[in-house]
Structure 1
């Protein structure tokens, strides 16, 4: 346990978050996503896991990682096949965590399922959650932390 660090953030995930740079993508995926095979193709090259729901994992990640304010959609959700505008409960819950972390409404973008897979392979890393609900897959783009005023 570390003071001020969400206890579900394990050492491997913290290492990856610290290693990422501005504009790098992190994938948060559900239990049905082909996480192991996709993760092997990422910059990190191995799968990370946090056994918790997708909203809980996003809350933990965003407690230490800023979202990229230089892009329109620093967070994206996988679209429901055949119903791209549908927002399943898991996605609404993750949206609420993003808004809470950012202190404002910041709607996610969306990405078609196979385009999501392609993007995931080019990402920095994949964090597989314990989320069993369908479409619990998200992209989070890392932002910057400004220097402290002296």
Structure 2
């Protein structure tokens, strides 16, 4: 273990975060996400909630300043919306964590099917044990100033 670094971060994850370059993306996904189908590099964190992992990563991870949204959430499927599904609780939690760690940064949305395509293009997919629905977020790495 290391001082001031969350105990949920492993050496493998820290190496991935360090090796990523400006504009590279990382997906933090829930337990239902088809990570091995959609990820080039997949790390498994089955005992960790997605928001806990996001809280551990963001203090170490510069968010990109180029896109309007450096953090993107998977939007609800139109069928879920039509069925009256309520907004996933994690959306608000993720947005709060992003803005607390990186003031001025906001979260945007990616349609569900597009999110899968984006995940295939990510540097890595980090699968958590998150069971709350739509617990998926993609982060774009910025530069260290």
Tell me the TM-score normalized by structure 2. Answer: 0.90
Structure 2 residue aligned with 1:47: 42
Structure 2 residue aligned with 1:76: 72
Post-superposition, which runs of at least 4 consecutive aligned residues in structure 1 deviate over 6 A? Answer: none
Structure 1 residue aligned with 2:27: 27
**How far 1:49 sits from its partner (Å)?**
2.1
Q: Deviations over 1:14-72 (max 9, x none)?
A: 01001100000000000000011212xx2xxx311223111111111102111101211
Q: Please state whether the residue corresponding to 1:119 is helix, strand or coil.
A: helix
Bigger shift: 22-31 or 87-96? Answer: 87-96
Q: Is the 8 A contact 2:70 2:106 kept in 1?
A: no
Structure 1 residue aligned with 2:16: 16
Structure 2 residue aligned with 1:124: 123
Structure 2 residue aligned with 1:67: 63
Q: Deviations over 1:59-118 (max 9, x none)?
A: 11102111101211000000011139x64101111111111101x253211001111101
Structure 2 residue aligned with 1:2: 2
Q: Is the 8 A contact 1:6 1:63 kept in 2?
A: no
Structure 2 residue aligned with 1:58: 54
Q: Please state whether the residue corresponding to 1:80 is helix, strand or coil.
A: coil
Q: Is the 8 A contact 1:29 1:137 kept in 2?
A: yes
Give the unaligned 5+ runs of structure 1.
none
Give the unaligned 5+ runs of structure 2.
none
Q: Please state whether the residue corresponding to 2:99 is helix, strand or coil.
A: helix
